[in-house]
Structure 1
Amino acid sequence: MNRFQPLAIAGFITSAIALTACSSSPTGRQQVLLFSEQDMSQLGAQSFDALKEQETIYTDSKTNQYVQCVTNALTSRLGASQATGQWEVVVFDSEQVNAFALPGGKIGVYTGLLKVATNQDQLATVIGHEIGHVLAQHSNERLSRSQLANMGMQISSAAIGGTNYHDAAMAGLGLGVQYGVLMPYGRAQESESDIIGLRMMAEAGFDPYESINLWKNMAKASGGNQPPELLSTHPSHSTRIDDLRAEIARLPSFNVPKPQCKI
């Protein structure tokens, strides 16, 4: 058999899967999604259970009620297909300035974030952004890309007749690390989640202009140590702020009462 024939077969299989699994994100960006919602929800639940075993859960009732209040205000605006069941929210006792949301309605917030997101609107910016990743199925998209890349590399390796090429190619693609829903998102996904989260918080009655203050706080907290934008999976703070200003200008007016979440 011609050694290039398996490569052609791999390309055909990959293209066929991509075409049958093609979808559009909430902002209209084309995606390839190979996994079912049930699969992703199960993966999210398993990952969340593991994190709850590994991390220290913060039990202060006022802090938990505050974070839950902000989350409830955001998720109450979601459609029925996006708000199935109660979102599980856990506050973790850690200095990390971070939060995440997982498929299946799981949200984690680290106490370190509450020192940077200094009011309910800024916290809503972060939680809305993280929920945006779930609504746009970014975890599914990332895992699907990895699956397709793996398939191509495995067939290519077989065609060339050795494992050394396979290992080198995997490392070159950045696929030598474990896959999971907590891997870094790409810049396109981060920017898309900013847009989704901004609209969510505005629809829920939070002040979208506080998203700008939040990222100014993030810039201060990072101490100017953010890597150049081309070397980071996140947009630079200045790019993010400029993009948010542009999106805020396009937002319609939402006549809804402002949430009253206090710590």
Structure 2
Amino acid sequence: MKRLLVSVLVSSFLVGCVATKSPTGRTQALLFSDAQMQQMGAQSFEAMKKDQKISQDKAKTNYVNCVAQRITATLPDQSQKWEVVLFESDSVNAFALPGGHIGVYTGLLNVATNQDQLATVIGHEVAHVLAQHGNEQVSRQQLTGIGMQVADVALGASGVANKDLYMAGLGLGAQIGVILPFGRDQESEADIMGLELMAKAGFDPNASVQLWKNMAKAGGKQGPELLSTHPSHGHRIEDLQSGLNKVMPLYTQARKQSLTECKINR
């Protein structure tokens, strides 16, 4: 009976799987709805706010918020409110989660040395959300067996219906699925999309090249955590440089508007 129920659960995942195209044309297998991903993102973000120290530096916090707000103001869905938190940590990292959550670590501000470079990173992370990369990663984990293990444990402990088993899988996604490292294809996709986002927000796309050069120097040979699964530095910079001509008109148009310059005012 246990095996039968697990088979039913796995079958339900497969039936619910949606094959779609990413913004750059890659095929994605997505198991979860937007509402489910937003729940995972909210759970993960709340857990991180409890477990990690939040910066009390108002100047840095306002600066990060300024950049993030200009990026998110360019998005088609303006009904989505974005929460931005600056975490106190030497980690050179940032992330965005489904449901409108952006986290930036203070260590990143030592490498992203101006508003345009910081916009490169935030635009890149927001692009991951827009391209449903979190959903793609959680779905891959479920399809490669982690979901079956969780279901089996839940069945043995409770013997109840599929709802509880489904929530067990959802809980797993909230813990590790949404914040799993992205693959290289996803990273390259986020680079290109992020370049367009920052240009639309009036941040100079040329700064993206210098930012990733700074990243390549940070942390020695290993580089910062943010680069752990990214394409090689040279390959990434080449891709960004090749994309500049396409997005520069967007930047030029955005600069005609009245934009708030983001600075750390002390």
Alignment check: 8 A CA contact 2:81 2:100 kept: yes
What's the secondary structure of 1:179's corresponding residue? helix
Partner Cα separation in structure 1 for residue 66 and residue 249 of structure 2: 22
Alignment check: 8 A CA contact 2:205 2:247 kept: no
Alignment check: 8 A CA contact 1:14 1:148 kept: no
1:207 maps to 2:208: no
1:127 maps to 2:125: no
After superposition, the CA RMSD in angstroms is 2.7
Partner Cα separation in structure 2 for residue 58 and residue 152 of structure 1: 35
Alignment check: 8 A CA contact 1:226 1:236 kept: no
Partner Cα separation in structure 1 for residue 13 and residue 43 of structure 2: 31
1:26 maps to 2:23: yes
Partner Cα separation in structure 1 for residue 49 and residue 206 of structure 2: 33
What's the secondary structure of 1:253's corresponding residue? helix
Matches within 5 A, 1:133-172: 133-150=128-145
Alignment check: 8 A CA contact 2:217 2:223 kept: no
Partner Cα separation in structure 2 for residue 75 and residue 207 of structure 1: 16
Residue of structure 2 equivalent to 1:256:
254
Structure 1 unaligned blocks of 5 or more? 1-5, 155-177
Query: Residue type matched to 1:206 in 2?
Result: F
Spell out structure 1 runs of 4+ moving beyond 6 A: 151-154
Query: Residue type matched to 2:114 in 1?
Result: N
What's the secondary structure of 2:95's corresponding residue? strand
Structure 2 unaligned blocks of 5 or more? 150-174
Identical amino acids, percent of aligned pairs: 56
Query: Residue type matched to 2:207 in 1?
Result: E
**How much has 1:84 moved relative to structure 2?**
2.8
Aligned length: 227
What's the secondary structure of 1:73's corresponding residue? helix
State the TM-score, normalized to the length of structure 1: 0.79
Matches within 5 A, 1:182-197: 182-197=179-194
Change (3 A) 1:153 1:124: same
Residue of structure 2 equivalent to 1:52:
49
State the TM-score, normalized to the length of structure 2: 0.78
Residue of structure 1 equivalent to 2:157:
none
